[in-house]
Chain A
Amino acid sequence: MKAPLSWLKDYVDIDVSAEQLMQKLFSCGFEVEELIEVGKDISGVVVGEVIECEPVEGTHLHVCKVDCGAHGILQICCGADNVKKGIKAPVALVGATVYATAKDHVTVEGVVTIKKGKLRGIESDGMLCSGVEIGVNGDMFEGGDYCGLLLLPQNSENGADIKPIVGLDDYIFDIAVTANRPDCQSVFGIAREVAAVLGKKVKEPDYSYSAVSGKYEDIKISDLAPEICPRYIGHYVKDVKIAPSPMWIRKRLALCGLRSINNVVDITNFVLLEMGQPMHAFDLATLGGREIVVRRARENEKIVTLDNNEFGLCPENLVICDGEKPVALAGVMGGLNSEITENTKEVLFEAAKFARDSVRKTARSLGQHTDSSALFEKGVNEYTTERAMARALNLIQRLNCGTVTDVHVDVKTEYSKTESKKMTVSAKKINDLLGITVPTEKMAEILNNLSFKVIRKGDELDLTVPDWREDIDLYPDIAEEIIRLYGYEHINGTFMPSAAITNGGYSAEQKAEIKLKRALSEKGMYEISTYSFYSPKDFDMLHIPEGDNRRNAIKILNPISEELSIMRTTLAPSVMQVIVRNLRRGNMEGRVYELAKIYLADKLPIETFPEERKILALGMWGKCDFFDLKGVTECVADVLNTKFEYVPTKKDYLHPGITATVLCDGVEVGYLGMVSPEIAQELALERPAFIAELDYEELKKHARTFRYSPLPKFPVETRDLALVCDKKITCGEIEKAVYGACKYVTDVRLFDVYEGGQVGEGKKSMAFTVTFTPNDEEITSRIDGFVKKILGNLKFNLGVELR
């Protein structure tokens, strides 16, 4: 929201500097994002009167004597075509800063400092300037667009600073207005806040106008969609004379970044900026039946807007129609068919309130965003709607561009809200919420300054809320109004003296997660955090087949891009992407983990809350092998105080011989394996990579809290067994058989594997250390028996022999 200081001064007697005002606005909730100094780059430019002007033969130059008042009479060489004796123009003195222009005299190429110089051997003690050179265009100052010298009024004092004369001494506040204050989306709205924060009175814009009698039956307005058009006001102006706007209007539009079009259109824009109420002017002659119908668009109805774009509409769009056809896209843009042209003689002004949502949906669905739609989306209030119309008519008269009639059609609907809100608040309750004591009379003063009507009754304040303050709802809103003007520096820290003691910290479940993550970090794993969404292409990357369950991902209806368009159902693609990214960046080895959610829907598209399941994903690449990764999954089992079993398996994206399913208490909890050479090649992985995923929600169920058991009275016994078996027999099978054969076995640990001549073709030797732990009896003498039984089982079940 842009508010020029010069404009604000119309309504408030501002007696502080622009910087001070910026601070004040900041403290009461209006952050000035940028304080723009209009003539920031221009310095040392004064009024000069050309008192002598002689052409330099053979050139387009003139050598002039310029009277610069206190700066003396300077000789300046000038190439402008409009230089002549008697004119007054800006003179950039030696040392001044002005804009340098390209050969076209229009394009600004930066800032230059003026030096004493010679043009064609003629000394020049400064420069006579054009509008462009001092940053003034035709909307800022009459003649500012001309590429010759900028002509200043003859009554300008020679030698005076040109900044105040051409309006370069101004500031523009670019203010961030919070969503609860649509009433401040205008220069006058900001002026009210400025007045309140400075403790000054605000001067209202002039709303007065006189009307001549018109034919009342001449204009008919009907509102067929009151739920999205709660209020519609039309006013008829005749004898319209379309002409350029006067300088003061053009200048204000220019300061706020709007282009001047003609007097009538400029008035609507001026009121939009001043009051925050978008308006529209229809050429009445183009309205069929001299009638306005506000209604929802018909399916596929067409409109061509002022900017010559055609849109196909639907009933979600509100249109303003004449007797036959749409003539404006309500709140967004007028139609080309009813545009004000230089031949316009009769105008119907519109000031209306359109529902925020309706305008937003229309602007978004059509991609048509305007200053008007932006304001309606934020919200306008009907108090301002009424006044904006009056203000526009006032300006019509002031600019003398038409005759205001008394044909005023005001359609109020059941959705219209014009009643002033009244409320009673307790000063004590406000102070109780703030935690400080603001004197009641101070509260009343602050609220008065904010245009509340206040009646004090002891502790209570009877308030009438200003009509434009639709954000004021309950007493805390009043508390906020008071503290933002009283000053937040009055709030001193206290420490909940009245609060009950509560016991804080992580829950047991949260602690378990942290414990697991800590263990992983200590095992050399780095925690990563990747996006919860990815692309359907990520499934292709991992060769996950069409129709696979993992592809049943929840879609984001409005994703930023295809890359981030579905909620993940497995972390594998995310980990894979991290590995790929690292290898591409030359990080040739790494170990990472992520504990994050996947999102599983029972049904697509989703209708109910999906399941959010925490998954632990592990990734390793570079100097490592399957067993390094398995060491980490074993660590996970240790942290959970449980045991995992590993069964060879196959998985889309993993090496068929180097992949295992992880089981815990017989239940599948995840997998681990090496990225298949095929995918590694497709992704140009230069190092072996390994991925594991463990279902943390499932794992949690198998976690055991440790329980202390008394030390055995008898020592543990160990035996080393060197076994020979078929090559296909796995370590896991043998371990399982050993455990199964004897209840005293508490650990089976492989310590050697051998394949080769000594054990024969198709065979391998595996050596295990088996640990027997006694309960309450001595078992030393029974170990030989146990071993015998173990060997018997191994032979019977797996054909394993003692070597």
Chain B
Amino acid sequence: MEIESDIKKTDQDVDEALESVSSSKQLQDVKMKFLGKTGRVSELMKCMRDVVAEKKREVGQLLNELRARTEAKFNALNEKLKKKELEERYAAETIDVTMPGRKSANGAFHPNTLIKDELVSIFSGMGFEVFEGPEIENDYYNFTALNTPADHPARDMQDTFYLSRDLLLRTQTSAGQIRVMENKKPPIKILSPGKVYRSDDDATHSPMFSQMEGLVVDKGITLCDLKGMLDEFAKKVFGNDVKTRLRPSYFPFTEPSVEVDVSCFECGGKGCRLCKGTGWIEVLGAGMVNRRVLEGCGVDPDVYTGFAFGMGIERIAMLKYGINNMKLLFEGDTRFLKQFKD
């Protein structure tokens, strides 16, 4: 039986060939030699044609067994080699994980932007929309419509930069209130952040700074509602234990007008340098919208009431981050800017 000895020889040759295999790549080559289309096993299979009919079944079975046996040998060795190779690869690729990481340098927002966004997110949750008006205003929007006619004492409270007899750099974001009320029917809840300008220049005053104005006009709005909203604001910005205090003040466009203090978040109200020993820090001005202002904007003050508040964004930033000189906010010094990675 020639073919049987061939099978036996093939078995021996496979074993011999596999002994010298040391990589899965070599194994693949060897496998092709035996099990490939033109490999030894396939060639033997082709010999089936020449086998006499009565022996075909027997030889066929032997050949099939040879194929299965050979495949099993290859597979077993393949498994073993793959595993070994993977281990080698792991060893070769192992790095020193304690070496420094590669950072992609991040920039940062200006502190004013951080505060503005924080305020907007607090108030937008309460239903406030954001409105931005022009920085160059006329006398009407900045003063007259805000119940501050030409001979009004309050005009002296702010040193205004004039661009012409009528045009000026707005001294307060309150100017935006009027523009909103002229174009929108109550209910109104808006926030109006933006740059304002006053002729004032020292460590705590800058000729340009930013304000955030809030305005609510609706039916049945009370001073208690103003207080409730400011309590919420103070907690979110300065911390849960912070309380607010209202005290009388004066703004021409609100009546009653209040100054709003928050309990000192540094010392908890005991008195420290930040609050100058008083336990309270002044953060904003507010009040009930003056009837004359509502009327002037075509809102019926017998149907609607409202409140407005305005705060200096730089002031909040300076308080919150402990910045002692307002100038730093406008100088663009990178050592300063790099700290605000909020």
Contact = CB atoms under 8 A, between A and B. Distances in A.
B126 A504 contact: yes
A592 B334 contact: yes
Contacts of B288: 433, 476, 479
Interface string B120-161: 100111111110101110100000000000110110110001
Interface stretch (A92-100, A179-187, A697-705): A179-187
Interface residues of A, number: 91
A528 B332 contact: yes
Contacts of A564: 207
A493 B216 contact: no
Contacts of B229: 493, 495-496
A178 B232 CA distance: 28
Interface stretch (A24-32, A43-51, A65-73): A24-32
A357 B150 contact: yes
Given A179-B157, A567-B163, A527 B110 contact: yes
A682 B247 CA distance: 55
A525 interface: yes
B220 to A, nearest CB: 3
A527 B107 CA distance: 8
A578 B224 contact: no
A526 interface: yes
Interface stretch (B19-27, B56-64, B249-257): B249-257
A558 B161 contact: yes
Contacts of A434: 222-224
Given A474-B292, A504-B124, A505-B129, A559 B163 contact: no
Contacts of B129: 502-505, 507
Contacts of A28: 248
Contacts, number: 256
B71 interface: no
A433 B302 CA distance: 11
B164 interface: yes
Interface in B24-71: none
Report the interface size class on chain B. Answer: 35 or more
Nearest to A378: B153
B331 A581 contact: yes
A526 B108 contact: yes
A599 B169 CA distance: 11
Interface string B189-215: 100000101010100000110000000
B256 A476 contact: yes
Interface in A411-457: 432-436
Interface string B225-250: 10111111000000000000111111
A149 B204 CA distance: 46
Given A527-B110, A555-B163, A606-B163, A432 B127 contact: no
B290 interface: yes
A591 interface: yes
B123 to A, nearest CB: 7
A609 B175 CA distance: 14
B290 A494 contact: no
A493 B228 contact: yes
Contacts of B130: 505-507, 510
A99 to B, nearest CB: 26
A587 B161 CA distance: 34
A294 to B, nearest CB: 19
Interface in A739-757: none
Contacts of B232: 493, 495
Contact of B199 (A479, A518, A560, A581): A560
Nearest to B200: A560
Contacts of A532: 135, 169, 195, 197, 208
Contact of A526 (B107, B136, B220): B107
Given A26-B247, A182-B153, A557-B163, A480 B218 contact: no
Interface in B74-107: 104-107
Nearest to A564: B207
B136 A491 contact: no
Nearest to A434: B223
Contacts of A525: 107
A554 interface: yes
A499 B187 contact: yes
Interface string B298-342: 000000010000000000000000000000011111110110000
A178 B259 CA distance: 12
Interface in A586-610: 587, 590-593, 597, 599, 605-607, 609-610
A524 B187 contact: no
24 contacts: A178-B250, A179-B153, A179-B250, A180-B153, A180-B154, A476-B256, A479-B255, A480-B255, A503-B127, A503-B129, A504-B126, A505-B128, A506-B124, A524-B107, A527-B108, A529-B332, A532-B195, A558-B161, A558-B199, A567-B136, A578-B332, A587-B333, A592-B334, A610-B167
Interface of B: 104-110, 112-113, 117, 120, 123-130, 132, 134-136, 138, 150-151, 153-154, 156-157, 161-164, 167, 169, 187-189, 195, 197, 199, 201, 207-208, 216, 218-225, 227-232, 245-250, 252, 255-258, 288, 290-292, 305, 329-335, 337-338
A-B pairs, 7 with minimum CB distance: A435-B222, A435-B224, A29-B248, A493-B228, A498-B220, A480-B256, A178-B250
Given A432-B305, A502-B128, A503-B127, 14 more contacts: A379-B153, A433-B223, A493-B228, A498-B221, A504-B125, A504-B189, A505-B128, A521-B109, A522-B107, A528-B337, A530-B330, A560-B207, A597-B135, A606-B167
Interface of A: 26-29, 178-182, 355-357, 360, 377-379, 432-436, 473-474, 476-477, 479-480, 483-484, 488, 491-507, 510, 514, 517-518, 520-533, 554-560, 564, 567, 578, 581-582, 585, 587, 590-593, 597, 599, 605-607, 609-610, 612
